[in-house]
Amino acid sequence: MDEIRGILFAIVKGKGTRSEGPQYFIKPIDDYKNRWSEILVRKKTHMWEKDPELHEFLDKKVLITGDIIETKSTITVDYLKVEPLE
């Protein structure tokens, strides 16, 4: 398992469509900030639904534990656990 520390935020995607919903990202504040300005956090719900676990931590510093999929041009985290940072 890998960990990322950062500020969690959401952007509404698919506005005006039936699949309109939040897409979650983390702005890293650890070693990942040198390579990425934002990292996609894959939610565990349908496209149009809020992820209840992620949504309660919006605009807060968090520690995300999960599997990180990093390629040359993208990075995504499949989270297992989200917890607040002090």
> In this predicted model, what pLDDT tens digit does every residue of 10-42 receive, in sequence order?
999 999 998 899 999 999 999 999 999 999 999
pLDDT (0 to 100) of residue 9: 98
C-alpha distances in angstroms, 25 versus 56, 59, 66, 67, 78? 14, 10, 14, 15, 11
pTM over 0.85, yes/no: yes
What's the rounded mean pLDDT across residues 64-73? 95
Domains and CATH numbers, the chain: 2-84 (2.40.50)
Q: Tokens 């890293």, residue?
A: 28
pLDDT (0 to 100) of residue 86: 78
pLDDT (0 to 100) of residue 70: 93
